[in-house]
Amino acid sequence: AEYSKVGPREITIGTYDTIADNVMTPNLSLALTTHPAIEDMTLRFASCGKRGGTNLQNLLQNSPSLVSMDLDILHTNKAALETISEGIKCNSGALLYLNVGSTFATATDDYSS
């Protein structure tokens, strides 16, 4: 199917929370495979709250490839989705963003102060 291309903007597709073992919401894979603007998107993890001592940037330092991944790969690679689900965890209410186009804005971290 062909979809209309959208301008650079961020789309919230999921959140981290403290309820289910700090794991990513199950809506992630659904959003990745069903969003109409899936083409030309790059998955980026913008920020993660520091409440509880977890910092997403620190987690990404050992896995820099997770910072920017082609969604075509994620769409067809179940292992890649599982790697993100298992490897990236946070215990605050930080949002997970999809970035559309070339512009990337850092997500707001409510727990940074």
Give me the pLDDT at residue 37, please: 37
Asked if the structure places residue 3 within a domain, the reply is no
What does the pLDDT read at residue 98?
35
Asked, for residue 2, whether it belongs to a domain, the answer is no
Whether residue 1 lies inside any domain: the answer is no
Q: Which residues span the domain enclosing 69?
A: 9-100
Quickly state the pLDDT bin for 91 (edges 50, 70, 90): very low
**Helix, strand, or coil (residue 94):** coil
Based on the structure, what is the number of domains in the chain?
1
Q: Which residues 6+ apart lie within 8 Å of 59 measured at CB? A: 48, 87, 88, 89, 90
What is the structure's pLDDT at 82? 40
Which spans in the chain are helix H?
27-34, 56-61, 71-76, 78-87
| Confidence band of 77 (pLDDT split at 50, 70, 90) | very low
Read off the amino acid at residue 15. T
CA proximity to 95, closest of 56, 59, 60:
56
In a domain, 109, yes or no: no
Whether residue 113 is contained in a domain is answered as no
Is the Cβ–Cβ distance between 8 and 102 less than 8 Å?
yes
Position 15 in a domain: yes
- Under the banding of pLDDT at 50, 70 and 90, the label for residue 26 is very low
> Is the CB of residue 54 less than 8 Å from the CB of residue 89?
yes
Q: What is the mean pLDDT of residues 100-110?
A: 30
